[in-house]
Amino acid sequence: DYTISGLKESGTDYPEGLEEKYTKLPNEVPERVYEKSSEITEGKENAFAKVNAIKQWLAKNKEYSLDATSTPPDTGLAEHFIFNTNKVYCSYFASAAAVMLRTQDIPTRYVSGYGGGSRNSEGDFAVREKHAHAWIEVYFPEEGWITFDPTSGSSEAYEEARVAEE
């Protein structure tokens, strides 16, 4: 259990080694990704506010779609998504959010799994590939790993696409 006030006040006193591991980025991440992330989070006083600023920017500027274009071979996925494309699926949202938050020294991890599912004709609960989803978890001292879904419209967009396929 956590509270919003607890997340806002959690600070940056991370367990030893956690910050280094979960803020690490490849050297190939372009400076413009750092700059854009800093621009979006400018003036935000805590990690929770920065997470929400990134989520809001993604929701305002990107659209969930199962018809995403592939990333050119000479461009990183997060960079391509942030600067070159608008219609993408959940893994792009989660990857970009993780990279953007890590540029701000906020411990973040990319998570993928399955959401939803449906009952089949025998009454069993079936989870299929179409129920796959990706999101992020952000570490807050004293609170632990907290799940955030940066996908535009979050579960609403995912659920609408899933139901449309059934």
Instruction: List active site positions.
Output: 90, 133, 149
The residue type found at 101 is L
Place of tokens 């956590």: 2
Name residues whose C-beta falls within 8 Å of residue 155's C-beta, 6 or more positions apart in sequence.
115, 149
> DSSP label at 109?
E
The DSSP code for 123 is S
Residue closest to 114 by CA, chosen among 166, 54, 158: 158
CA distance 166 to 160: 10
Count H helices and E strands in the chain, helices first: 7, 7
